Amino acid sequence: MTDGLTTRRGAAVLALLLAVGLVGGFGASWALGELPRGDGAPTPVVAASPSLPVDPVPDILPDPAYPPLEPGARLVTGEVGSGGSRMTLPVPQGWTFSENSLDEWQWRPPDQQSFGQVMRVEQVLSNRRSISWTLERRIDELDEDEQNVTILERTDDSLHFTFVTSNHLRHGFLTWLDVTGSDDAQVEIAVTGRARDADGMADLISRVAAGVSLG
């Protein structure tokens, strides 16, 4: 009698252990992201790729309040450089001129506040690099040197992008010219300003680029 009771108790304990083992196995599979399919085989869950590091979004300060740069701004003929490096080009009438170096020049509206409009022109003949190489390299430089860079538009010879500097959102336009058919970038033109200046900047850089001549 005792042997029969012991046998029945052992069978019950064994059944309980088997049941616990099955439930535990299902629970472990769920915790690991594997749930049974219709055929009983587990379906693995694909691990998500780690997020790429991104620049934190800074608090953007208000733009300085002065009139936007409008398309069709009046241009006059300017001249920079000397000798074989002399260059003529259209420049905004009334903008203040400054020389950054022997081959780089800037123009700004007079008496404007910080974070305003600026046009920069540089001769890059000595680099002897193609426009496509120069454009790719400039994108790398922007990513390295500026914060929160976003490329809005790109062509074979130009960029329109935004970036943040000193908590101000800036729009930048860049284009490169080969004015002698050398297949190299010879002139770089850059215009930078606020979002409200973007239409005027796009118009300005296009018209200036069309009027550049060397010598």
Query: What's the CA gap between 190 and 135, in Å, rounded?
Result: 12
pLDDT tens for each residue of 41-84: 444 444 444 445 566 778 999 999 989 999 999 999 999 998 87
Work out whether strand 168-177 and strand 75-80 pair parallel, antiparallel, or are unpaired.
Answer: unpaired
Confidence band of 2 (pLDDT split at 50, 70, 90): very low
* Ordered alpha helix ranges (H), the chain: 2-31, 131-145, 198-210
Query: What's the CA gap between 196 and 15, in Å, rounded?
Result: 76
Query: What's the CA gap between 91 and 81, in Å, rounded?
Result: 15
105: amino acid identity, one letter: W
pLDDT of 183 over the 80 cut? yes
Residue 38: what pLDDT?
42
Query: What's the CA gap between 47 and 38, in Å, rounded?
Result: 22
Query: What's the CA gap between 3 and 164, in Å, rounded?
Result: 85
Break the chain into its structural domains and give their ranges: 2-43, 75-214
- Indicate the DSSP class of residue 116: -
pLDDT of 10 over the 90 cut? no
Kindly report the pTM of this predicted structure.
Answer: 0.74
Query: What's the CA gap between 89 and 192, in Å, rounded?
Result: 18
Best CATH choice for the domain 75-214 from the list 3.40.50.11400, 3.40.1000.10, 3.30.70.20, 3.40.47.10:
3.40.1000.10
Residue 166's SS3 state is coil
Strand runs labelled E in the chain: 35-36, 42-43, 75-80, 87-92, 96-101, 104-108, 118-123, 147-154, 158-165, 168-177, 187-193, 213-214
Query: What's the CA gap between 44 and 35, in Å, rounded?
Result: 8
Residue 72: what pLDDT?
97
Q: Which residue has the tokens 């081959």?
A: 103
- Nearest Cα residue to 76 out of 93, 59, 62, 95: 93
Work out whether strand 168-177 and strand 158-165 pair parallel, antiparallel, or are unpaired.
Answer: antiparallel
